[in-house]
Structure 1
Amino acid sequence: MFADANLTTQDGTTLVSRLWRPQGEGPWPTLLMRQPYGRAIASTVTLPHPQWWCRHGFLVVVQDVRGQGDSQGSFVGFSQEASDTADTLTWLRALPEVNGRIGLYGFSYQGLTQLLAPEDCPPPDCMAPAMCGLDERNHWSCEGEAHWWHLGLGWGLQLAALQAHRRGDQAHWEEIRRSLEDGSYLRDGLRLLEQHDPHGMAVRWLHQSAHDASAWIQHSVPERWLQTPMLLLGGWWDPHLRGLLDLAERSRAVGGQPDLHIGPATHLQWWPQSSSLLLSFFQHHLQDHPSTTAGEGSAATGVHLWDQTSACWQAFHTTNPADQPSAGNPRWTFRSAGLACHDPSEGSLISNGANGSGKVVIVHDPWRPVPAIGGHLSPTAGPVDRASVDQRSDVALFTSAPLGQSLQLSGRPMLQLVGFADQPGFDLCVALSRLPAGSESVQQLSTGVLRTIGQNALHPRTLTLELQALHASLNPGDRLRLSIAGAAWPAIAVNPGHPDAPCGAPTADCRVISIELQLDTAHLQMLPLLLPQTGRTPAD
């Protein structure tokens, strides 16, 4: 059924791979995945088991990356992968079972291992890096200058537990596992990482300033690799969507033609047809099957988006949905006489070009922080009815009048307003939702956060917050709502309200924060899904 094989890298390290072979005589086209979670798993949390690929005529190779599973060496994360990718491809091309045609696949960490290689390394024939990105800050650990809390701790502790298991340290493995099961990792997770994996990527990220982009690593991809046939799979509720869109932009900038599909997916729960989409892609590029031209997300190069409200796919034959004819770039302003937190009908979202007006004060109490639900960063990622959260008096609501005609929202929502606080630190946590006609539900479409720390939080200044990308159709009679709060716990840590205490779980050092939003110039608008690449190179 399978057999393990070893390769020795140029620095003398042994990497262990598992090979699943099709029935019959080879050689065969080959699919390679390199991952840190154990080759036996083979990312089956989202992807078909290697035996399924074998039945379609592919040799499948899943490798334990350096320092994980049974491979030798020390695991240091992304920075180790470029040279090991090159050595693995050289080894694969020399195997008698491999016919010379190689595709790379996998998501998350396994997505990035497909992209990192030396400049002189020949690229594979095709690759399908899903749900990943190149910027360790903006695509892997932070948003709006706030660290991912629940996700960063949870993933870091998973890697720390793998290292404990590798050392045979059962006690520490159980301590880590227990914290994840009972939720105490949200309070104790950073301490556990510092104790059990002090040199790991996750603890390094959490200790780095989310405000200083210059201190963070941005990985690069060889230009020839970006020009390689590429299938990019993303999800509206996946935290790495920004990274995937950036990857599509970089590929397009150097003449690549990536096939981008963004579907109804969280990081670990994909849409059922994603497997057949991957199969069609690899059959076309590795087995010379005709390209798929119909059905869900056709394999024709372009952009394929799942509409979050009509629950159907839309394909765009250009590489940018913003190039399609539309009703223009919608823009909304805000009005409130001060009761937007207490009367759900008082705050207005206005689309007719009228000026905004008023102010609203949001009081954040760290004893009862506003919870994060649904979306792309919370523990309950995915679509959600946020009506119960919007009933809280520490959430400011701005709701439009019923729409007179259909409206297509597609792209990246961007909010700009003037705000400040009575403490030297505050967060803005925003949700954009649809209120369907004739319903009491509040269908959350997109969320975003922005953190401010330091003395500049005390003075009025213009704040810009970009929400998660979306694609949604609104019907006549529907209303649009923007909700603003001072917390999104535990998607991001609680802001203590001052720089003398770290952001984290609520503690006695956290302060009550009054946040004033001035609405005269506040506006919400849609940016294109894919941004232009003028003057940018893949290494930027």
Structure 2
Amino acid sequence: MLARNPTSAISRSIERLTLKDGVALAADVYRPAGEGPWPVLLMRQPYGKQIASTVVLAHPSWYARHGYVVVVQDVRGMGASEGDFDCLRQELSDGAETVAWARGLDGANGKIGLYGFSYQAITQYLALAGGAEVDAMAPAMGSFAPDRDWAYEGGALRYAGMVGWAQQMALLKALHDGDRETHTELSALKGLPETARYLTERPALSHLKRWIDNAESDWDQVSPERLLKDVSLDIPVLHTGGWYDFMLEGTLAADRAFRKASPETAHLVIGPWAHMPWNGASGQSRMPEAETYSVDRANIAFFDFYLKNRGNPPPALTLFDMGERRWRTFDHWPETLEKPLALASGGLAATLANDGRLADTLEDDADGEDVLVSDPFRPAPLVGGHMGEPSGFADRVASDDRSDVAVYTTAPFAQDFTLCGPVRADLAIATEAPVFDLVATLSLVTPTGRVNVIQTGITRTKNTGAPVSVGLRAAYVTVPAGFSLRLSLQAAAWPAFSLHAQDPASADGMEPLTLAIRHAASRLVLSVLKEDTVNGA
């Protein structure tokens, strides 16, 4: 079937690949005008091939207009493809067969690149794990270890996101299968617990129960990190991530793996973005300065260099500075050093936002502590960052007024310095609870009183009496002179994360949680550019 695309001189055909097991997969194939041949760009996705990652990327016809045969395929069991959708498990062999097929399409010159965002990024890694031979790839915001960087974080289930996405996948599966009854029931569900219960009771419909069960044997089948351990990653790659993307840790881990295999052909971009949208959006905040960078143009320049031997390679590293609000390029990751800051207060850091302090040394507060109580009937929400609402570089000043959030703030800094890399909070906690959550947020406090979220992190841990380390995500932020940093601590982040003693499918079995934060052995540990010195805190 041939159709003329609204974009001039681009043709679109629907073509099918019959896999070795007899299942047929459907793809939209966009070809430029002219004789060719051209390199192929392949995207494999579950949302319906007409969507084609256009929530963040340009339409496939735009890529075709730049001299590529562009293939957008519905994965097994979704859209116009046959078969039964089985989240991630199917993408190794299906992906490898598709790559081999796409290489030989009419108009193709034998070279192939993979591109796409989110699930479409993971299908790229899994195709490699299935044995695909690829000439270049451009994964954007994909998971590399789904058990750690997608479904769970710090041992806590990303409740709202996982249940919501599982519902979306189940709706698409029911639509594909012509199951109107299930589609109607799913559409009528109200609330996350009800939806989670429905999906976990129907494992043939949804992967959610499998992911909540969290069995290592299941992750072994779908984790690119594990599956690619013995695969050569000497492949040109352009990774695109966002400081507020919930899959950022996956992007960084994948970049490390590919960069180790081939430092000269590994390229990484991290913008101010959440998972979507991009452009000048930083979650629900605005970073209009980011609009000077086009991911689509960068993708084309990357593929032109590696598939057409045209132009120049991208920089090794392109980072958006959230403080200076500008793009920076590097030949390699900048060198950093750790900068610890101690916690102190008058014991009221959970009830007065101006009581808690962060500084180099606070020896006069060796016996100090702050106590906060988390009530399961009014759990603290997460604000800003990659999982909060609103997301991104959001102002959390109102959340810091809650009495179940302990707040510690530095004095204004005397000079600029730059945070680069991961942050962690090492905390001494006293509690009677056998299991508890600790949620940390690092924010930039402006002279006008805004408290903009830099990054967040969570740890779910058994109570062993040992100090607890909460890993916050990597950041690149120049802190201007006159600004302060703030650490906010809480024992819940609902509904972004399930609560500490909760059955995720039912939301039952909760008890209040009391935590004492003991100052003597507690520190916030920053990663600071090596050439910077930090003083005035």
1:387 match: secondary structure: coil
Unaligned runs of at least 5 residues, structure 1: 293-298, 530-540
Distance 2:453 2:362 in 1: 24
Distance 1:517 1:214 in 2: 37
Distance 1:51 1:229 in 2: 23
> Percent sequence identity over matched residues?
36
Question: In structure 2, which of residues 481, 487, 494 is the aligned counterpart of residue 489 of structure 1?
Answer: 494
- Counterpart in the other structure of 2:344: 335
Does the 8 Å CA contact 2:350/2:407 hold for their aligned counterparts?
A: yes
- Counterpart in the other structure of 2:534: none
1:309 aligns with 2:323: yes
Give the CA RMSD over aligned residues.
Answer: 2.2
State the 1:175 CA deviation.
3.5
Once the two structures are superposed, the pairs formed by residues 488-507 of structure 1 within 5 Å of their partners are 488-496=493-501, 502-503=503-504, 507=508
Distance 1:460 1:329 in 2: 25
State the 1:117 CA deviation.
3.5
Distance 1:316 1:408 in 2: 15
Letter in 1 for 2:271: G
State the 1:195 CA deviation.
4.3
1:463 aligns with 2:468: yes
Residues 453-504 of structure 1, C-alpha deviation per residue, up to 9 Å, x if partnerless? xxx42x53211110121111111111110000111111101224xxxx5246
CA separation of 1:48 and 1:354: change in aligned 2, threshold 3 A: farther
State the 1:177 CA deviation.
3.3
State the 1:157 CA deviation.
0.7
1:205 match: secondary structure: helix
Does the 8 Å CA contact 2:114/2:124 hold for their aligned counterparts?
A: yes
Distance 2:353 2:200 in 1: 44
State the 1:223 CA deviation.
6.1
- Counterpart in the other structure of 2:173: 163
- Counterpart in the other structure of 1:382: 392
- Counterpart in the other structure of 1:285: 306
- Counterpart in the other structure of 2:17: 7
The aligned length equals 500
Residues 374-397 of structure 1, C-alpha deviation per residue, up to 9 Å, x if partnerless? 211135322200000001111101
Distance 2:217 2:101 in 1: 36
Does the 8 Å CA contact 1:86/1:118 hold for their aligned counterparts?
A: yes
Distance 1:362 1:445 in 2: 23
CA separation of 1:120 and 1:268: change in aligned 2, threshold 3 A: closer
Distance 1:525 1:243 in 2: 22
- Counterpart in the other structure of 1:227: 234
Does the 8 Å CA contact 1:150/1:378 hold for their aligned counterparts?
A: no
Which deviates the most, 98-107 or 519-528? 519-528
Once the two structures are superposed, the pairs formed by residues 350-499 of structure 1 within 5 Å of their partners are 350-351=359-360, 357=366, 358-437=368-447, 439-452=448-461, 456-457=462-463, 460-496=465-501
Using the size of structure 2 for normalisation, the TM-score is 0.88
Letter in 2 for 1:50: P
- Counterpart in the other structure of 2:513: 513
- Counterpart in the other structure of 2:248: 241
Does the 8 Å CA contact 2:93/2:130 hold for their aligned counterparts?
A: no
Using the size of structure 1 for normalisation, the TM-score is 0.87
Which deviates the most, 223-232 or 462-471? 223-232
State the 1:526 CA deviation.
3.2
Does the 8 Å CA contact 1:160/1:197 hold for their aligned counterparts?
A: no
2:467 match: secondary structure: strand
1:248 match: secondary structure: helix
CA separation of 1:119 and 1:276: change in aligned 2, threshold 3 A: closer
Distance 1:225 1:98 in 2: 25
1:415 match: secondary structure: strand
CA separation of 1:512 and 1:224: change in aligned 2, threshold 3 A: closer
CA separation of 1:153 and 1:267: change in aligned 2, threshold 3 A: same
State the 1:403 CA deviation.
0.6
Question: In structure 2, which of residues 26, 29, 35 is the aligned counterpart of residue 19 of structure 1?
Answer: 29
Does the 8 Å CA contact 1:234/1:241 hold for their aligned counterparts?
A: yes
Letter in 2 for 1:303: L
Question: In structure 1, which of residues 269, 274, 278 is the aligned counterpart of residue 277 of structure 2?
Answer: 269
State the 1:174 CA deviation.
3.6
- Counterpart in the other structure of 1:538: none
1:115 match: secondary structure: helix
Distance 1:391 1:359 in 2: 18
Does the 8 Å CA contact 1:495/1:503 hold for their aligned counterparts?
A: no
1:349 aligns with 2:349: no
Which deviates the most, 510-519 or 231-240? 510-519
CA separation of 1:347 and 1:222: change in aligned 2, threshold 3 A: closer
Letter in 1 for 2:195: G
Distance 1:25 1:375 in 2: 48
State the 1:308 CA deviation.
1.1
